């Protein structure tokens, strides 16, 4: 597991705002109300979990739903947040260490964009598989999905304000496909 990167900032002479945690592909973070978690998604997916009473949240940035059947998880292996199922397990562990029950959280799902819409695909795109997997994983854990912004074309910039539970998503189409969406 790779840890998220910390980036503190000050806004125009005002008191310092929240500390930003920037997720790269294959990372996740669990944080309190003093943080915002940011990432940029293409076909990858982010799940956010937020506990409204405690103002604690978690966010992932996973690349594929799970390991291939040729690469089964063994007891000796560490969980890897590159995979959706393992990223969620890591997030739930981190929340549990802070006394947060998964069923007390609300979830939001983002990403799964088609980055190559003009290329013919054999079956569902990796983005579609990631988004569908996120839905199934949360349902299996009994975590309600409050909102989602999935699929379409291009990438999304995601900002999760752990203090409020708000998540901002801005989707931009790939160059040559028109303006911002």
Instruction: For residue 77, give both structure tokens.
Output: 């292996």
> 3.30.1330.200, 3.60.150.10, 3.30.420.40, 3.30.590.10: which CATH number matches 26-170?
3.30.1330.200
User: Going by DSSP bridges, is the β-strand pair 35-41/155-161 parallel, antiparallel, or unpaired?
Assistant: antiparallel
Q: Each residue's pLDDT tens digit in the chain (181 positions)?
A: 444 544 444 445 556 788 999 999 999 999 999 999 999 999 999 999 999 999 999 999 999 999 976 666 666 678 999 999 999 999 999 999 999 998 999 999 999 998 877 777 788 889 999 999 999 999 999 999 999 999 988 899 999 999 999 999 998 865 544 433 3
DSSP string covering 3-63, please? Answer: PPEEE----TTSSP-PEEEEPPTTEEEEEETTEEEEEEESS-EEEEEEETTTTEEEEEEBS
Q: What is the pTM assigned to this prediction?
A: 0.84
* C-alpha 30: how far from chain center: 11
Q: Single out the residue of 135, 141, 64 nearest to residue 96, CA to CA.
A: 141
Return the number of other C-beta atoms located less than 10 Å from residue 37's C-beta. 29
Distance between CA atoms of residues 37 and 18, nearest Å: 10
Round to the nearest angstrom and report the end-to-end CA distance of the chain: 33
3-state SS class at 73 = coil
């Amino acid at each position: 597991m790779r840890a998220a990167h910390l980036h503190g900032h000050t806004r125009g002479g005002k008191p310092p705002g929240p500390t930003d945690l920037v997720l790269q592909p294959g990372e996740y973070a669990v944080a309190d109300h003093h943080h915002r978690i940011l990432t940029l998604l293409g076909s990858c997916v982010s799940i956010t979990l937020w506990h409204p009473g405690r103002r604690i949240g978690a966010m992932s940035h996973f690349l594929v739903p799970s390991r291939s059947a040729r690469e089964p998880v063994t007891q000796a292996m560490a969980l890897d947040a590159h995979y959706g199922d393992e990223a969620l397990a890591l997030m739930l562990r981190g929340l549990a260490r802070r006394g947060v029950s998964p069923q007390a959280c609300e979830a939001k799902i983002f990403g799964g964009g088609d980055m190559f819409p003009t290329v013919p695909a054999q079956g569902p795109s990796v983005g579609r598989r990631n988004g569908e997997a996120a839905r199934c994983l949360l349902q299996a854990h009994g975590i309600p999905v409050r909102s989602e912004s999935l699929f379409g074309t291009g990438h999304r910039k995601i900002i999760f304000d752990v203090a409020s539970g708000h998540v901002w998503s801005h989707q931009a189409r790939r160059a040559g496909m028109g303006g911002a969406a």
